[in-house]
Amino acid sequence: MKILGIDTAVATGSVAIVEDDVLVAEMLLTSRQTHARRIMKVVDSLLSMTESSLSDLDGFAVSIGPGSFTGLRIGISTVKGLAFSVGKPISAVITLDALAHQFPYARTLICPILNARKGEVYTALYRADETGAVARISDYAVIPPLDRVSRISEPCLFVGDGISEYGPLIKQKMGPLAHFAPPFLNTIRASVVASLGLKRLKNKEPDDAKTLVPFYIRPSEAEIKIAGGSPSL
């Protein structure tokens, strides 16, 4: 089974093609351009380099958040358009799950943290077993980083773009219990998104493309205004 995966949840976007357990190709790009201006160029380039066409694919996987509100909408709408054009299924992947699954043999607790602005992070806790299976052991949350670390009393590996801003604060609070992924591993990989999506599609668990929406955890500013509330500060 050959799957194309897309991630546009943060500033670095990526596209990958995975066939069964093999990574065929992957492209990651950090740019000041919006994902809307570059995502299809990357998809076309990847298909061209691998001498593939959309009809050769068995399905699509896309990260649905949490992350950038605009970026997520771009990624999801792109995958929907591609899937509808060739009549292939879609699998949605939670961004935090994809980050955690990049460390299948971690001996510590795994805590992805994505910068949610306003002094908060998107986060959850995971644990890997001796077989490399990664399981989430907490709810998804958007909270101040110190609220998360105050509940951790064991060695923990932190990963994600929130480290650049909150890493020193976490280190100060946790001391030697805090471990950090190297910067190049803080990026969400479309290959992991594709791999997780492929497993669900093999199990006949596609998502409904018509109702698929971003997983924000908290409402966007536009949703708050529509509801008549005030944006949080």
The predicted-structure confidence for 1-38, as pLDDT tens digits, reads as follows 999 999 999 999 999 999 998 999 999 988 777 888 88
Question: In whole numbers, what is the pLDDT of the chain averaged over residues?
Answer: 92
Residues 70-113 have pLDDT tens digits of 999 999 999 999 999 999 999 999 999 999 999 999 999 999 99
Q: How far apart are CA 150 and CA 38, in angstroms?
A: 40
Residues 170-216 have pLDDT tens digits of 999 999 999 999 999 999 999 999 999 999 999 999 999 999 999 99
Which pLDDT score is estimated for 55? 96
Residue 218 pLDDT grade (very low, low, confident, very high; cuts 50, 70, 90): confident
Percent of the chain with pLDDT over 70: 94
- Identify which of 134, 14, 132, 126 has the alpha carbon closest to the alpha carbon of residue 67: 14
Residue 143: how many other CB atoms lie within 10 Å: 16
Torsions phi, psi for 40 (to 5 deg): -70, -30
Cα–Cα distances in angstroms (integers) from residue 197 to residues 7, 23, 80, 90, 128, in the given order = 12, 13, 14, 8, 19
Q: Report CA dihedral (173, 176, 181, 182) to the nearest 10 degrees.
A: 100
Q: Domains in the chain, ordered, with CATH? A: 2-95+189-227 (3.30.420.40), 103-185 (3.30.420.40)
Residues 154-173 have pLDDT tens digits of 999 999 999 999 999 999 99
- Identify which of 169, 168, 162 has the alpha carbon closest to the alpha carbon of residue 183: 162
- Identify which of 98, 103, 97, 101 has the alpha carbon closest to the alpha carbon of residue 157: 103
Torsions phi, psi for 17 (to 5 deg): -120, 125
3-state percent helix, strand, coil for the chain, nearest multiple of 5? 35, 25, 40
